[in-house]
Chain A
Amino acid sequence: MARGTTVRKIIEVQASEELKIPSFDGGGPPSSPIASAEPTVSNARLAVLMFLAAEAMFFAGLIGAFIVFRLSSSAWPPPFQPRLPVTVTGVNTVILLLSGLTMQLALRAVRAGKSEGLIWHLLATVLLGGIFLGIQGYEWVRLIQYGLTVWSGIYGATFYTLVGCHGLHVLGAVLWLTVVLIQARQGRFTAERCTGVETCSMYWTFVVGLWPILYGLVYLY
C-alpha cells in the first residue's frame, strides 16, 4: 500500500512538471494532471437535467400531435363539445406558479442554512401542488358530467392525454416533494449538503414551467 502511494506521488510529480512533448497527433501534457475534485455540474444535477430533457421530448411529442389536430380542424372546440373552464384554470395556473416561487424560496433557505424556512416553504409548495391537483380533479369530474370523455372525440382525447400526463407528473413531483419534506424535518439537509432539495426543485420547476405552455395551448388557443 505504502509503495503504491509513493508511485502515485511520483506520477503526480512527473505529471505536474512542465512536460514539453513534441506533438504528434493530439499529443501534449494532460490539461489537468491531478484528478479534479469538483465537476462543473454534479452527477445528480446532470442526471436530472438529462431526465428533464427526455421529459421535454415526451411532451413535445404530445404537443406536436395536439397542434396537428388543432390546425387540421375547422372549428375548435368542435361543435356540441363542452367549453373548458378558462377562468378557474387561470386561477389554478397562478396557484401552480406560486408554488414555483415557494420552491425557489425553499431552495434559497436551505442554501442559507435556514432549516425552518426550508420546511415551511416546502410545506407551502406541497400544499399549493395539492390544491392544483384538487382543482384539476374537480374540473375533470365536471367535464365528464358534461360529456367530455376520452372517447367522445379527438378534442377530449387530446385534452385528457396532455393535461392528464402533466397531472401525473405533478402528482409524482408532489410525492417526491413530500419525501424531501420528511427528510428536511429529519434534518438531513445543510447548506453544503442539499442535493436532494436541488434536484427536486429542478423537477418541480420543470413541471411548473410546462403548465403555462399547456394552459395557453389547450385552454386559450
Chain B
Amino acid sequence: MSDSVAVVATHAVPAHHEELGFWRTYVFSTDHKMIGRQFLFLGFFMLVLGGLMAMMIRWELAWPETAVPGLRWLPEPYAYEGIIPPQTYNMLFTIHATLMIFFVVMPIMVGCFGNFLIPLMIGARDMAFPTLNMLSFWVGLLAGLVMLAGFFVPGGHAAAGWTAYAPLSAKAAYTGVNWGQNLWIISLLILGVSSLMGSINYITTIVNMRAPGMSYFRMPLIIWSLFITAVLLLLALPVLTAALAMLLFDRALGTSFFLPEGGGEPLLWQHLFWFFGHPEVYVLVLPAMGVTSDILSTFSRKPVFGYHAMAFSMIAIAFLSWIVWGHHMFVSGMNPLMGTAFMMSTMVIAIPSAIKTFNWLGTLWRGSIRFTSPMLFALGFVSNFLIGGLSGIFMASTPVDIFIHDTYYIVAHFHYVVAGIIFALFASVYYWFPKMFGRMMNEPLAKIHFVLTYIFFNATFFPMHILGVGGHMRRIYNPTQYDFLHPLQPINVFITVSALLLGLSQITFVTNFFWSLFGGKKAERNPWKANTLEWAAPSPPPHGNFDALPVVYRGPYEYSSPEVEDDYLPQNRPLITQSSAPRTH
C-alpha cells in the first residue's frame, strides 16, 4: 500500500520544465546541476595540467638535468632542449600544488559535488541564490585563467612555493619573478570572491531550504561535511585575502609588511597563511570524509555506525583546525613554548579523526559488503587516510618534526592525505555519475582503474617516507648534488617510474568517463538501491529536480531495516504500520 503511493507520488507530477537555449542551458546556466558539472570539467582540466607538472617534477628528481621526453618543443627559458632549468622547476612545484589545492580538489569536491548534491540531497529545487551560484563558477573560472596566464608573462610563473613564504615572495628580486607572483596573488584574491559566494549559498540553502521532515540530524553526512566546509571556507579565506592584499602591497606599493629591512615581520606571513591554511586542509578533506561515510554505508547495506558521533567529530575537527596552525612552523624561529602548545592541540585532532576511522570500520563490520567501484575507492581513501593520519602524528611532535621538517617525509604525509582525496573523488564520480549524466560507467574498467591507481599511488608515495627519514630535502632541484643522498637515488627512480605509471593508469578513467558519457548503459533512478533523496529524482534530474517535493520520514542510512522486505528504506518512503494505516482517502 504505502509502496504504491510512493511510486505514484514520484511519477505523477512532471517536474517544472521550460526549454532554454543552448547558452542558458550549458554556459550561463543557473541550474545547480549544470554548475556542478561545469566545476567538474574545470577541475578535471586542471587535474590533467597539475598531474603533468608532477610528472615533470618527478622526471627531474629521478634523472636530473636530462631532457624530458616530449618536451623539446618548450621554448627557452622554460626549458633548454627539453632540460628543465632550476627556475622552471621552482615554478612547477609551486603551480602543481596551487592548481591541485585551489583548482582541482576545491572545484571538484566542494564546487561540483557541493552544487550537485546539496539541493538534491536535502530535497530542494535549486540553491537559495541561483544567479550568485552561476557567478561563483564564472568568477572561479576567471581566477583559473588568471592563474594560467602567469605562465605567459616575462619572468615566468610564481616560484616561491604554494605557501609563498615571505620575504622570498615579497620582493620580485628574490625569485626573479615579478608578474607571475602578482598574478598568482590576484588569482587567489579572485578565487576568494568565488568561494565566498559559494559558501554563502551553501549555508543559506542548507539552513533554509531543507525538505519537510529533513531535520539537521537526518541530513546525509556528505551534506554535514559540505556544511562545515562552507563555514570553514567562509571564515578562513578572508584571512588569506587580508594576507594576500598585504603581500601585494609589499610587491606593488612598496610597503614592508613582510620585509624585515623595512621593519616588517616575515613570520607574520606564515602565521596568517597557516591560520587560513590549516582550516583549508579540512576544507579539502571533510567532503572526502563525507562521501566515504555515505558510500561505505550504502555498499555495506548497514547504517553508518555512530551517525551523531560522525557529525560531531567533523564539527570538532573543524573547530580544532583553527588552533593548530603553528604546527607548520615548529622550525620557523617561533617561540618554542608556542610550539609545545600547538603540538598539544594538534595531537587532540587525532581523537575525532580516530572516531571517524573506527566508525567507518564499525560500519563495515558484519555488513553485506558489495565491492563496487565506488566502494573500492572509498575503502582506498580510508586506508590511505589512515597512513597519512598516522604520519601526521609523528610530525605533530616537535622533537620528531625538527628532524623530518621540510624533508620528503612531509611530502609523503600530505600526499597521503591531500592526494589521497583523489580516491574519494573517484569514488564520488563513479557513485554519482549515473545521477549526473544518466548513464552507468563501465564497472570492469573501473575496477582495473582502482587496482592500478591503488598500487601505483602507494608505490609512489610510500617510499617518500624512507627518503624523508634519510634526509632528502623537499623542493630540491637535483638530489645527485648531495653525496649523502646518492644511496637513495634508486628510490627516487622507483618513485618516478611508479608516478609515471600512476599517471598512465588514469587513461582507463578518462576512457571510461567519456565513453560512458555517450555510450554507457542508461541509468535507472536508483541503481545502487540507496536511501538518500537524490535517488528519488530522475537520472539525470530535470530543471527543478523532483516530480513532487519529497517529504522525509527518517535518517539517510536505513539499510537492512527490519521493517521492510527490501534491504533499503529510502528517506522519502512513507511507512505505515498496521495500527495507524490511513483510515480513508
Contact = CB atoms under 8 A, between A and B. Distances in A.
Interface string B237-258: 1110111011001000111110
B555 interface: yes
A12 B129 CA distance: 28
A29 B204 CA distance: 25
A46 B203 contact: yes
A43 B210 CA distance: 12
Contacts of B576: 14, 17, 19
B241 A58 contact: yes
Given A7-B12, A21-B575, A47-B129, A154 B558 contact: no
B524 interface: no
A79 interface: no
A53 B235 contact: yes
B577 interface: yes
Nearest to B207: A46
Contacts, number: 200
B481 interface: no
B256 A29 contact: no
Given A53-B234, A61-B241, A150-B249, A69 B212 contact: no
Contacts of B208: 39, 41-43, 46
Given A39-B207, A61-B243, A27 B5 contact: no
Interface in A12-43: 12-15, 17-22, 24-36, 39, 41-43
A46 B213 contact: no
6 contacts: A12-B551, A19-B574, A46-B207, A47-B129, A151-B253, A154-B264
B12 A4 contact: yes
B537 to A, nearest CB: 16
A50 B234 contact: yes
A68 interface: yes
Contacts of B562: 24
B303 interface: yes
B511 interface: no
A7 B272 contact: no
A109 B551 CA distance: 40
A54 interface: yes
Interface in B514-549: 547-549
Interface of A: 1, 3-4, 7-8, 10-15, 17-22, 24-36, 39, 41-43, 46-47, 50-51, 53-55, 57-62, 64-65, 68-69, 72-73, 150-151, 153-154, 157-158, 161, 165
A31 B215 contact: yes
B293 to A, nearest CB: 14
Nearest to A157: B255
A3 B217 CA distance: 33
Interface of B: 5, 8-9, 12-13, 128-129, 196, 199-201, 203-204, 207-208, 211-215, 217-218, 234-239, 241-243, 245-246, 249, 253-257, 262-265, 268, 271-272, 275, 303, 307, 547-549, 551-555, 557-558, 561-563, 574-577, 579-580, 582, 585
A43 B235 contact: no
A154 B211 CA distance: 53
Contacts of B212: 15, 30, 32-36
B257 A33 contact: no
A111 to B, nearest CB: 22
A50 B204 contact: yes
Contacts of B253: 150-151
A22 B563 contact: yes
B254 A151 contact: yes
A199 to B, nearest CB: 12
B7 to A, nearest CB: 10
Question: Taking chain A's interface residues, is the majority helix, strand, or loop, or is none over half, making it mixed?
Answer: helix
Contacts of B200: 47, 50-51, 54
A3 B12 contact: yes
A16 B245 CA distance: 55
Given A14-B5, A35-B212, A26 B254 contact: no
A30 B213 contact: yes
A7 B257 CA distance: 65
B188 to A, nearest CB: 14
B196 A54 contact: yes
Contacts of A51: 196, 200
A60 B241 CA distance: 11
A182 B303 CA distance: 56
A50 B561 CA distance: 39
Contacts of B582: 10, 13-14, 17
B558 A58 contact: no
A21 to B, nearest CB: 6
Contact of B555 (A26, A34, A47, A64): A26
- Most chain B Cβ neighbours within 10 Å, of A17, A25, A68: A25
A27 B63 CA distance: 60
Nearest to A61: B242
B196 to A, nearest CB: 6
Contacts of A47: 128-129, 200-201, 204
A50 B128 CA distance: 13
Contact of A7 (B8, B265, B579): B8
A24 B552 contact: no
A30 B210 CA distance: 12
Contacts of B214: 30
Contacts of B552: 30
Nearest to A50: B200
Nearest to A156: B255
B141 to A, nearest CB: 21
